[in-house]
Amino acid sequence: MDHSSDLPLITALPRAWMAFSKAPWRHVGLSALVLISGIGLALIGQDLRGMPAPWLNRLGDLSVLSSLVVPIVPSLALLELADHCLTGNQRELKTPRRRARWVLRQTFTLLVLEGIFLAGGVAVMQSLSWALGTISPTLAGFSVIAGSLVLLHWIYTQVMALPLLVHHHHHALEAMAHSRQLVNNNGLKVLAMLGLITGLNLLGLLVASLGLLLSLPFSALVLMACCRSQTPWRSDSRRNMLPT
């Protein structure tokens, strides 16, 4: 699998602004759906869990659990919209129904695989620390530190997996491999991108959380813009950084 390796971070914000201006209300509407389906369901679940009736408590647990799963659908729609707007194609922004079902299926597969790998890593780290603890507590402590660093690095290399899945139509394992390759080749740029996205959403939280209606679309647009990696020092790829 041969991919370009230079992440165009410098042009991400200008491209995000140009793409946002093509469908601003659709971006804001999908961001509202993400917030309502996440925060709204969680708040309802917390209220229900405080009720005296046991069946309402169970319904509250289900609502809290749903707040972790339901936002995936509007989040995917937001990423798809961002990807369409960044291509410069204003004729049709709708995603075919079969394509939407395929992306949703691959996304859940990706999340399950990520969860399995993470749980497996934690289990191996715990087993190794327990085995080394019978020899020396110091070795056990070092194994926990080393295992935590390895897991954190692995999580860091997977931050681009979902955007790459949406943009390149990857299967789950292909998206994971491509994300690892892209992050390893652009470690500092990906770190700067995460800092930019974090800063945007912190600014959104400062305005009574209403700013998230704007910061979430820009975060999605920056992520999808960074999926369009370029071949380093190629004049033709530099010309194609901005949408036409």
- The rounded distance, in Å, linking the Cα atoms of 160 and 226 is 9
Of 6, 2, 23, 21, give the one whose Cα is nearest residue 240. 6
Of 188, 192, 194, 185, give the one whose Cα is nearest residue 159. 194
| 7 inside domain | no
The pLDDT assigned to 224 comes to 92
| 211 inside domain | yes
Measured at the alpha carbon of residue 234, what is the angle toward residues 232 and 238, in degrees to the nearest 5?
90
Model pLDDT for residues 113-131, shown as the tens digit of each residue:
999 999 998 999 888 888 8
- Total tally of structural domains belonging to the chain: 1
Share of the chain above pLDDT 70, in %: 86
Model pLDDT for residues 101-114, shown as the tens digit of each residue:
888 899 999 999 99
Structure tokens at 47: 């209220």
Concatenated DSSP letters of 4-60: --B---TTHHHHHHHHHTTSHHHHHHHHHHHHIIIIIHHHHHHHHHTSS-HHHHHHH
State the pTM of this model. 0.82
| 155 inside domain | yes
Quick one: pLDDT band at residue 9, thresholds 50, 70, 90?
confident
| 219 inside domain | yes
- The rounded distance, in Å, linking the Cα atoms of 226 and 186 is 11
| 6 inside domain | no
The pLDDT assigned to 195 comes to 92
Instruction: Give the domain extent around 68.
Output: 12-239
The pLDDT assigned to 43 comes to 85
| 78 inside domain | yes
Model pLDDT for residues 30-54, shown as the tens digit of each residue:
999 999 988 888 888 888 888 888 8
